[in-house]
């Protein structure tokens, strides 16, 4: 089987010991581009972060941010956007404020958070990424619900971080029963991530593939996070990083090396070299 789309969680691209993208990983992505295999970088993180990593990789890739709610083409144009409605957002924030938790409301160009225990002087932080000519603002307010009354927002995603797993689980159970148009993902570090219903990394990967005329069986996915399980399981070939969540490794067709062991670089080159070898063998059979 020839894999015509390579989708990878960008967290798998980082070297564990330095928190940077290695030279070997950059070379592997470049190798894929030379082989004319489209690259899709996906993440639960905000668009600004995903775009920065794409720039680090010097890669004109398709990008998926906010757990699948925001998809960008290789020409840096939005392909797919799915937001939580303004009304649901307001009701959601009002409920979350009944808990002692840190809340972040995220869009593609800014985020708004409750101050929590932040210094009183820190009310806004603007990140200017000079090499990308990209501005991303982070606002901090005393009350998110009051802020939303003045400025209605239809966000791509919402995050809530609780003090312990018991509070997180209590909130999650109530949220699932209250909001039918919102998707909830529970994470480690006592966090809940929220997007519009129907949004997932895998659904957005399939959307990009369909736009390119690529079938699901021709998609290779490299996953690491717990919610990569669906994508790894449903792809033509699902690959888990050596340090991936156990659930992801359990459903993977192939468990590669860890970040520290240059897992991305190894698996990309091995996968594409194997394809090339098979293609040559098929040509020789015809001859």
Q: Grade residue 278 by pLDDT with cuts at 50, 70 and 90.
A: low
The chain-wide mean pLDDT, for the chain, equals 87
pLDDT tens digits, one per residue of 195-223:
999 999 999 999 999 999 999 999 999 99
pLDDT at 87: 98
pLDDT tens digits, one per residue of 118-168:
444 444 444 444 434 456 788 889 899 999 999 999 999 999 999 899 999
Single out the residue of 282, 185, 275 nearest to residue 236, CA to CA. Answer: 275
Tell me the C-alpha distance between 275 and 281, whole Å.
Answer: 10
pTM for the full model? Answer: 0.88
Q: What letters, b where the CB count within 10 A reaches 16 and e where it falls short, cover 187-203?
A: eeebbbbbbbeebbbbb
- Please return the burial class of 76, using the count of CB atoms within 10 Å of its CB with bins 0-12, 13-18 and 19+: exposed
pLDDT at 279 over 50: no
pLDDT at 75: 87
pLDDT tens digits, one per residue of 23-59:
888 999 999 999 999 999 999 999 988 998 888 887 7
For the segment 244-270, the average pLDDT, to the nearest whole number, is 94
**No. of helices (H) and no. of strands (E), the chain:** 9, 15
DSSP readout, 61-99? -EEEEGGGTEEE-TTS-EEEE----HHHHHHHHHHHTTS
Domains, the chain: 5-81+199-286 (3.40.50.1000), 86-196 (3.30.1240.10)
Does residue 128 come out as left (phi exceeding 0), alpha (psi in the -120 to 50 range) or beta? beta
- From residue 116, alpha-carbon distances to 38, 175, 231 in Å are 42, 21, 35
Lowest mean pLDDT among 86-90, 122-126, 237-241: 122-126
């Amino acid at each position: 089987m020839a894999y015509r789309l390579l989708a990878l969680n960008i967290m798998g691209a980082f070297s564990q010991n330095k928190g940077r993208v290695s030279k070997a990983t950059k070379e592997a992505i470049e190798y894929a581009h030379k082989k004319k295999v489209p690259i899709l970088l996906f993440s639960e993180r905000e668009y600004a972060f995903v775009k920065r990593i794409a720039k680090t990789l010097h890669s004109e890739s398709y990008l998926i941010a906010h757990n699948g709610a925001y998809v960008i083409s290789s020409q840096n144009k939005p392909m797919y956007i799915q937001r939580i409605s303004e009304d649901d957002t307001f009701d959601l924030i009002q409920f979350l404020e009944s808990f002692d938790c840190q809340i972040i409301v995220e869009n593609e160009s800014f985020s708004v958070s409750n101050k929590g225990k932040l210094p009183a002087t820190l009310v806004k932080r603007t990140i200017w990424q000079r090499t990308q000519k990209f501005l991303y603002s982070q606002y901090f307010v005393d009350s998110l619900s009051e802020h939303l009354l003045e400025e209605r927002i239809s966000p791509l995603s919402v995050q809530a971080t609780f003090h312990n797993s018991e509070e997180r689980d209590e909130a999650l159970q109530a949220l699932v029963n209250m909001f039918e148009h919102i998707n909830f993902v529970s994470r480690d570090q006592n966090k809940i991530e929220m997007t519009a219903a129907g949004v997932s990394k895998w659904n957005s990967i399939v959307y990009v593939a369909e736009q390119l005329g690529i079938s699901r069986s021709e998609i290779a996915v490299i996953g690491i996070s717990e919610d990569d399980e669906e994508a790894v399981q449903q792809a033509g070939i699902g690959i888990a990083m050596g340090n991936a969540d156990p659930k992801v490794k359990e459903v993977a067709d192939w468990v590669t090396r860890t970040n520290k062991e240059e897992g991305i670089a190894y698996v990309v080159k091995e996968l594409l070299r194997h394809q090339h070898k098979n293609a040559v063998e098929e040509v020789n059979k015809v001859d």
